Chains A and B, each alone.
Chain A
Amino acid sequence: MSEDILVARNLVKTYTQRSGRFGFGSTQVRALNDVSIHLRAGTTLAVVGESGSGKSTLARCLLQLQPVDSGEVLFEGRDLAKLEPTELRDVRKNLQMVFQDPFASLNPRMRVGEIVGEGLLIHSLGSIAEQQKKVVAMLKRVGLTEADMQKYPHEFSGGQRQRIGIARALVLNPQVVVCDEPVSALDVSIQAQILLLLKELQQEMALSYIFISHDLRVVRHIADDMVVMYQGQVVEQGSVVDVYTAPKHSYTQNLLAAIPGKKVVNG
């Protein structure tokens, strides 16, 4: 059993939503209700659940992109919420994110080289020449070329853009990468390429992934452990094999029963 690299304890996050006929009323929506998870170093933890179950909120809260109401997020034993802004920025090098929508998450006015190199620039890691070298190496590693640095995001297909997103996250040599539905917008053929790429990179760079997904077939392939969320709460967690073979919670059982084409597809 490897050590926990990222631990979240009793996270609570409440949104205030306007309600009533003209939006004068307000209701409290509990997006995260006492959520605790732990990510073992070098492994992949999948977070599954339906839309509105709080999985993306969890991702944002883990990376401190959104403040939590209560609870703590420990990275290597340090509570991220208690860090000074400058310290937090320093720690963020180690915590990166790959977003769901490869079309919306890349700045259309920046060249790919600038997008991927921006993190290095902000954290002033190495000289400009060294940064360039790193960017080129990273782009090549994810299957793009040096010439692609000069291009803009719109010149790429969905799968290639997701590769750019991955390069941007990994160029800083992080320890934890939160992937928020990285393959759900992609065709199944491209999805397979990206999943394999993520797996290879995990091996090479000793990465730990939090992998958010609603596709249980994908989760089965990429994750070691999993957490099932339902209406802001964790209803089940354990190793992927255990949860798939013997789901305990009725929601998990429903979710597994809903996987399309379980019997016939075995290609």
Chain B
Amino acid sequence: MTVDLQTKQLANTAPLLQLEHVSISPKKTPSRLLVNDVSFAIEVGKTTCVVGESGSGKSLTALAIMGLLSKQLQLNSGKVLFNDADKGIVDLTTLDAESLRKLRGDKIAMIFQEPMTSLNPVLTVGYQIGESLTTHLGFKGERLKNKIASLLEMVGIPPGRANSYPDELSGGQRQRVMIAMSIACEPSLLIADEPTTALDVTVQAQILKLLSDLKTRMNMGMLFITHDFGVVADIADNVVVMFRGQIVESGTREQVLSNPQHPYTKALLACVPDAEGEKMLKPIDYAWLAGEQTGAVAAEVIHE
């Protein structure tokens, strides 16, 4: 059984998603920017990884794209341009709630970090996978059942598990269910917020493989948020490095990992233990970095 994959052709050659000068702050203190002038693009069928420490604003950026920012926060400025196969380029920040709701789960889907808490414990996983199919594409009856079964099979779960509740599944299986849910309507953009951080390494390797297979098969663009450079090395096409709400460096995977330009990227890479144990770990000297940040070299890199 295979899923009928529609080939998505965009009318234009613009990127799938383009963030332009996005800034986010708390409503009460608009001058305190949590995300500061962030711009990057996600190409059709490519994976962009956003890397940074906790508090660097990477998750907020993802939530802003989905229009899911908490009520205490506001989008100060910026555009989120989504290249919709049907409607052309739309600015997600100006859409009304109803049109945004129609896009979410259909053309743009999200996988969250915690597979334990992001599934509803009182509904079967089959029901949860089918929900967006019913809402967006009007699937029902036998057709819905078959589609759910084929989706489960696609992510490597026996289709009979559709009647299980989330607590009957392991962490890895739950994350697979989350993935099945998110790809149900064959989105053109998948946002994954640290989808493997809570999982064991062997399970993580399986999930990463699954995601990149699906990406290729469905020609999805993917925004992948992580703090693990090992994961970046495995799946990214492009990398965006964030530090304290700002993008300090972006480029292709090879550029950023093998030839980092910004001192922060270099310092962050120096913290990552390697599997061979040959590298001396060097913690980040934030004070030095702050000095460097104001220096001309750093400024040049930031605004290139």
Contacts and interface: CB of A to CB of B under 8 A. Distances in A.
Interface of A: 50-51, 158, 187-193, 195-196, 214-218, 220-221, 240-241, 244, 254-267
B272 interface: yes
Contacts of A261: 228-234
Contact of B279 (A215, A262, A266): A266
Contacts of B277: 220-221, 240-241, 244
B208 interface: yes
B229 to A, nearest CB: 5
Interface of A is mostly: helix
Nearest to A257: B205
A261 B274 CA distance: 9
Contact of A262 (B200, B230, B284): B230
Contact of A260 (B54, B205, B260, B276): B205
13 contacts: A189-B271, A192-B270, A192-B283, A216-B201, A217-B274, A255-B201, A255-B202, A261-B228, A263-B233, A264-B258, A267-B229, A267-B260, A267-B274
7 A-B pairs with the lowest CB-CB distances in the bound complex, closest first = A261-B233, A261-B230, A260-B230, A267-B269, A264-B233, A220-B277, A258-B205
Contact of B281 (A195, A215, A241): A195
B175 to A, nearest CB: 13
Interface residues of B, number: 39
B206 to A, nearest CB: 8
Contacts of B227: 187-188
A265 B230 contact: yes
B275 to A, nearest CB: 5
B291 to A, nearest CB: 17
A189 B268 contact: yes
B271 A192 contact: yes
Most buried by B among A192, A218, A256: A192
B171 A51 contact: yes
